[in-house]
Amino acid sequence: MDLRKLQRTVIDALEEVKASDIRVFDTTKLTNLFDRVVIATGNSNRQTRALAFSVSTAVKEKGGEVISIEGLETGEWVLVDCGDVVVHILLPAIRVYYQLEGMWGGKPVRVKLNKQSGPTSGPMDFDDDED
């Protein structure tokens, strides 16, 4: 699966389960292991697990590969490795504590979220539906 299609598939899967604060970063100049990091927030352990499952299912349905999923036991920080795209799904307190944007956030990717009217980069604020 090409990178743009994989990235879109991941974002759509996250939005479908109502992830909040979705951010995408280009990591091509930082590492050779993957090209994108996607960071999203879930409001509960149950939601982070559901988000990971949604991403995994969507990627596989579109013909992509999910190499591994880590962190399902606690659901505080779930990582979905889709090869060229690595997805971090965190609870709010864990996301604030680890500040992954500081590590991977050098080059935000402009993406259009379905909950927004136009393309964005950096912080992506939008109204989140409560569970």
Domain ranges of the chain: 3-113
Identify the CATH assignment for 3-113 out of 1.10.150.130, 3.40.190.10, 3.30.460.10, 3.20.20.80.
Answer: 3.30.460.10
pLDDT greater at residue 25 or residue 121:
25
**Percent of the chain surpassing pLDDT 90:** 73
Distance CA 39, CA 104 (A): 10
Residue 62 CA, distance from chain mean position: 17
Asked whether the predicted pLDDT for residue 110 surpasses 80, the reply is no
pLDDT tier at 121 (50, 70, 90 boundaries)?
very low
CA Rg value for the chain = 13
Average pLDDT over residues 33-57: 97
